[in-house]
Amino acid sequence: MFHLPILYPITDRQLSRLTISEQVRLLASSGARLIQLRDKISPPKQFQLDTAEAVKVAHEFGAQIIVNDRVDIAQTVSAHGVHLGQDDMPPEAARRLLGDHRLIGFSTHNVEQAVEAAKLPVDYIAFGPIFPTRSKQDAAPVVGLEGLATIRKAIGQKPLVAIGGINLKNAQQALKAGADSVALISALYENPNEIPQLVSEFLTLQRQG
Ligand code: 3NM
């Protein structure tokens, strides 16, 4: 089974005011091992170019890259995998395209979706938003730490990422409630100079399971 690193940073061009590869360099050189490239604004051509560059940077540091939404882009840049939402290409179809050696992550927002996801050919399940978030425009209702604990029980051993409003103050609680990993956007990018320090602090968190 895929082993999720405890920290799962996601890029954000607006919040960080950095290019995708600048973000990846800062994150990977500070110890992040798995990074999701997310860019809801750039046209596909730009995202493709940025992603190709970011994959090269990640390789320098031995970090793995997951591409948000775009199975085709993940494939052409030989990313480690793709992260899909409920309205993206279904995971079974993505698995047929990507084969068994690439990672597929899948977003879920309630118990039904998570239980369904656990039966799909996905390597990890993301669940959220755990807390209120301003980084996703069409975020589902907040599920809370209780919701997270329920999902942990419902999906057995499947690798689980908590997402939405996670920061240094509440990350340990999310891990205690059963997450294997915490996904972060806004907690990382208030001040790009602080990214290395923040990554180090998040990396001191302890998995509970
Ligand atoms: N997905 P922040 S919440 C990208 O609930 C994303 O699936 C979510 O950003 C989900 O760490 C979210 O700034 C935004 O709250 C996470």
SS3 for 119-147, per residue? CCCCCEEEECCCCCCCCCCCCCCCCHHHH
- Cα 186 to ligand 1 centre (Å): 9
| Residue 188 confidence (pLDDT) | 97
pLDDT in tens, 16-49: 999 999 999 999 999 999 999 999 999 999 999 9
Q: Does the beta carbon of 128 lie inside 6 Å of ligand 1? A: yes
Task: Provide CATH code, domain 7-208.
Answer: 3.20.20.70
105 CA distance to ligand 1 middle (Å): 14
Distance CA 154, CA 36 (A): 25
pLDDT band at residue 207 using 50, 70 and 90 as cut-offs: confident
Domain limits, the chain:
7-208
CA 128 / ligand 1 centre spacing (Å): 7
Q: CB count, 10 Å around CB of 146?
A: 9
- Per-residue pLDDT, averaged over 191-200, amounts to 95
Neighbour order of strands in the sheet with 181-184: 7-9, 181-184, 160-162, 124-127, 103-108, 81-84, 64-68, 34-37
Which residue lies with its CA nearest to atom 16 of ligand 1?
A: 164
Distance from the alpha carbon of residue 55 to the mean position of ligand 1, in angstroms: 22
Atom of ligand 1 minimally distant from the CA of 131: 15
Residue 60 in this model has a pLDDT that exceeds 90: yes
Determine if ligand 1 sits within 6 Å of the CB of residue 147.
Answer: no
pLDDT tens digits, residue range 63-92?
Answer: 999 999 999 999 999 999 999 999 999 999
Tell me, using a 6 A CB cutoff, whether residue 178 lines ligand 1.
no
pLDDT attached to residue 208: 74
Expressed in angstroms and rounded, the spacing between residue 78 Cα and the centre of ligand 1 is 25
Phi, then psi, of 74 in degrees rounded to 5: -55, -40
- Segment 125-165, tens digit of pLDDT: 999 999 999 999 999 999 999 999 999 999 999 999 999 99
Closest ligand 1 atom to 107 CA: 7
Residue 209 has pLDDT above 90, yes or no: no
Q: Percent of the chain at pLDDT above 90?
A: 96
For residues 75 and 81, what is the distance between their CA atoms, to the nearest angstrom? 8
Does the Cβ of 105 fall within 6 Å of ligand 1?
A: no
pLDDT at residue number 164: 98
Report in angstroms the alpha-carbon separations of 93 from 121, 162, 171, 189.
10, 24, 33, 34
